[in-house]
Structure 1
Amino acid sequence: MTNPVTARSRRVTHDPPIVGRLVCSFPPHLSTVSAASRVVRRLRYGTRTGVGYKPTRVLYRRMYSRAQVERALRTPSLLFREANRLYHRRLNRRAYNTAGVDVFAEDWDTLVLLDACRYDMFSGQSELAGRLESRRSRGSSTQEFLRGNVQDRTLHDTVYVTANPQLYWHRDWLNASFHAVEHVWMEDGWDERYGTVLPETTTARALEAAETYPNKRYLVHYMQPHYPFLTDADESFAVDHSFLDPDEAGFWNRVMTGELGADPDEVWRAYQSTLDRTLPHVERLLEGLDGKSVVSADHGNMVGERARPFPIREWGHPRGIYTDQLVEVPWLVVDGDRRTIVSEAPAETRAEVADEVVTDRLEQLGYA
């Protein structure tokens, strides 16, 4: 599959911090400089809070630290990313993409989530049997997806099998109640070499959960094709492929700020390779389960495409930005004989791990 980014440009380089470069996509009445000044003002004084609002330093303290403001001013790409976020979130009046689908209101017995899987990539690579549709996600990040779909909800008919630590890390404010949660990323589920949970591990744990809880809906969350990428066995983490190094924290932000160079062709190939590595294990899961299954994603990913309305090159999956690359996700429907779903009180499956372990896992997954 051809990388849609390089169909327009063979190589993406980081735009120099020249504000005038960004004027091309703005409405005629809005200059880039004035728009940027409004972002700075909002970074300093907060956002609108109703009719007749007055900027207050209290709101500023809640939203941004001084260090965050200073960093944004030093790095124009981050400043304009925040401007785009304010645009998409309607000046922070919505906490997630309210135009997205409530996945628990959809009809399925098993919902498979491929973390950071774009619709266009899935449609070009997947050979899984089924009827392919698309949906708009409620989030452009896992945290935002969870906020929009599970926060403060009682889901006692559902078992969540997850390779992603985000639910655990944000469990207090998400306040979601499942029948059971299987945290695959804990202990022996984690692969130290690759710095992630391998797809075959997620499949095995999901099939075990299906035997333990035979009359529940299953939400199975694979970590792939999310970074760190799974490449061919002979692919080394050499200097010229440093974007593949799972030991480097904050991968996408380092690309975004220019600290780490990345050719979009190389990133796209690694991204594709990771999905190819994952799909056979998803197929094995589907073959091992009865009922109606859906294969989807929590969000997508950007690989150097331009965001909007400020047309900066965007990388990764920053929350609060709802471009097609970030919120259009696959929805592959696989029909089967339906199983009886029963809602019951939560099972005793509470597991705990030290905060240091969680933060280490998140860093290896590129979140730091």
Structure 2
Amino acid sequence: MYSLSQLKRALGSPNLFFRELNRLYHRRLNSRRFNTAGIDIFDADWDNLLILDACRYDMFEEQHNLDGTLERRLSRASSTQEWLHANFTDRDLRDTVYVTANPQYYRHRDVLGTTFHAVVDVWKEEGWDEELKTVPPEVTTKHAIEAAERYPDKRLLVHYIQPHYPFLTERGQPFDNDQAFLKPDEAGSWNQVMTGELDADANTIWTAYRETLDRTLPSVAELLATLDGKSVVSADHGNMVGERATPFPIREWGHPRGIYTSELVTVPWFVVEGDRRDTVAEEPAERASDVTDELVQDRLEQLGYV
């Protein structure tokens, strides 16, 4: 069901209105809460699963130079929040440590009801770069290596925030760009692009998007080189950069939940074989201290979620 405010917002923007119609189509009039054709990541075979946030299959295929075997999979979701609910809800994962640069799990953890052995929230103060408005991939890799050393008998789930917005270019951010969506000092969102509130040129965004993946892949390679066991590199969902959605052919931007186009749910499944390690389930380790709701909200805004 939709709230009155959501309905008013959709009716106030033709693009958002037709997005909602597309969502109803893909979710079969809301009879399913996620893409049931997608993979259950925790039933898959891996010791280490590295998630690149919002990484399209076609981008990864063209840009990676990692050693391994590339396959494709369908994700259960077209947004991180939806992906969490589709894969994590009420799961007993005491054999797994989750290292994440994305605050979405922390925000929804009580509703999700997931039991990990440990969760490492990289996005908190020690991992956040105030200038870049995100967690750099090098920092996520550092925390993941530390977690692998501390928990050698656990499955390791590592969630990079890249190539998700805000983008990282060779200079860190596209400071010299006039497009409002790419201004480093202002939190933007794909929804604002969708409604026309922020300027967006698909070619410029594609360049920044691709450069962000290029910036991230060396950190992924570094982590893969240190890990024991079978590793997989995948994504929670993809992203649309002005392509036409279905069945109503509006130009779509970002990764709205509940819309299962190929650009949004086709993800890489890159397998790196290694000597398997034994994993055990144990009671959860001591939980890190909580942070304020204001901090979580601020992080989400900087990442374009709000």
Aligned equivalents of 2:71, 2:136: Cα separation in 1: 26
Equivalent-residue separation in structure 2 for 1:321 and 1:246 (angstroms) = 28
1:229-248 to 2 correspondences below 5 Å: 229-233=167-171, 236-238=174-176, 240-248=178-186
Shift of 1:240: 1.6
The aligned counterpart of 1:363 is 301
Change (3 A) 1:166 1:236: closer
SS at match of 2:178: helix
Counterpart contact for 1:161–1:221, Cα < 8 Å: yes
Aligned residue runs from structure 1 range 212-251, under 5 A:
212-233=150-171, 236-238=174-176, 240-251=178-189
Deviates further, 231-240 or 201-210: 231-240
The answer (yes or no) to whether the contact 2:174–2:183 under 8 Å persists in 1 is no
- Any conservation in 2 of the 1:246–1:364 contact (CA below 8 Å)? no
Residue 187 of structure 1 is aligned with which of 120, 125, 145?
A: 125
Per-residue deviation, 1:250: 4.1
CA, structure 1 residues 112+235, in 2 after alignment: closer, same or farther (shift >3 Å)? closer
- Mapped pair 1:129 → 2:83: no
1:334 to 264, 272, 285: 272
Structure 2 counterpart of 1:45: none
Query: How has the CA–CA distance of structure 1 residues 288 and 351 changed in structure 2, closer, same or farther, with 3 Å as cutoff?
Result: same
Which 10-residue stretch deviates more, 240-249 or 304-313?
Answer: 240-249
Q: Is the 8 A contact 2:234 2:269 kept in 1?
A: yes
Q: Deviations over 1:198-226 (max 9, x none)?
A: 00000000000011101000000000000
Structure 1's 250 and 234: CA in aligned 2 closer, same or farther, altered over 3 A? closer
Alignment of structure 1 residues 246-285 onto 2, 5 Å: 246-285=184-223
The answer to which structure, 1 or 2, has the higher relative contact order (CA under 8 A, 6+ apart) is 2
Matched, 1:160 2:90: no
Contact 1:247–1:364 (Cα < 8 Å) also in 2: no
How many angstroms apart in 1 are the aligned matches of 2:159 and 2:131? Answer: 20
Q: 2:148 aligns with which of 210, 227, 235?
A: 210
Q: Which residue of 2 aligns with 1:318?
A: 256
Among 116, 125, 128, the alignment partner of 2:54 is: 116
Q: Distance in 2 between matches of 1:314 and 1:101?
A: 24
Q: Is the 8 A contact 2:179 2:198 kept in 1?
A: no
Q: 1:109 to 1:234 in 2, by over 3 A?
A: closer
Moved more, 67-76 or 146-155: 67-76
TM-score, reference length from structure 2: 0.98
Matched, 1:96 2:34: yes
CA distance in 2, matches of 1:276, 1:257: 29
1:78 aligns with 2:16: yes
In structure 2, the partner of 1:142 is: 80
Name 1:354's counterpart in structure 2. Answer: 292
Structure 1 residue matching 2:126: 3-state secondary structure: helix
In structure 2, what is the equivalent of residue 171 of structure 1? Answer: 109
Aligned pair count reads: 306
Work out whether residues 97 and 320 of structure 1, in 8 Å CA contact, stay in contact via their aligned partners in 2.
Answer: yes
Q: Is the 8 A contact 2:181 2:188 kept in 1?
A: no
Select which of 217, 220, 231 maps to 1:293. Answer: 231
Alpha-carbon distance in 2 for matches of 1:76, 1:233? 36
The code of the aligned residue for 2:231 comes to S
Aligned alpha-carbon RMSD (Å): 1.2
- Paired residues of 1:147 and 1:174 also in contact (CA < 8 A): yes
Query: Given residue 290 of structure 1, which amino acid in structure 2 is its aligned partner?
Result: D
SS at match of 1:189: coil
CA contact (8 A) 2:129 2:135 kept: yes
Measured in 1, the distance between the counterparts of 2:177 and 2:45 equals 47
Residue type matched to 2:126 in 1?
D
Tell which deviates more after alignment, 346-355 or 299-308: 346-355
TM-score, with structure 1 as normaliser: 0.81
Specify every segment of 5 or more residues in structure 1 that has no aligned partner in the other structure, as ranges.
1-62
State the 1:239 CA deviation.
5.5
Contact 1:304 1:313 in 2 (8 A): yes
The answer for unaligned runs of 5 or more in structure 2 is none
Please report how far the alpha carbon of residue 188 of structure 1 lies from its aligned counterpart in structure 2 after TM superposition: 1.1
Deviates further, 65-74 or 187-196: 65-74
**Contact 2:179–2:199 at 8 Å: present in 1 too?**
no
Please identify the structure whose Cα radius of gyration is greater: 1
- Indicate conservation of the 8 Å contact 1:249/1:367, yes or no: no
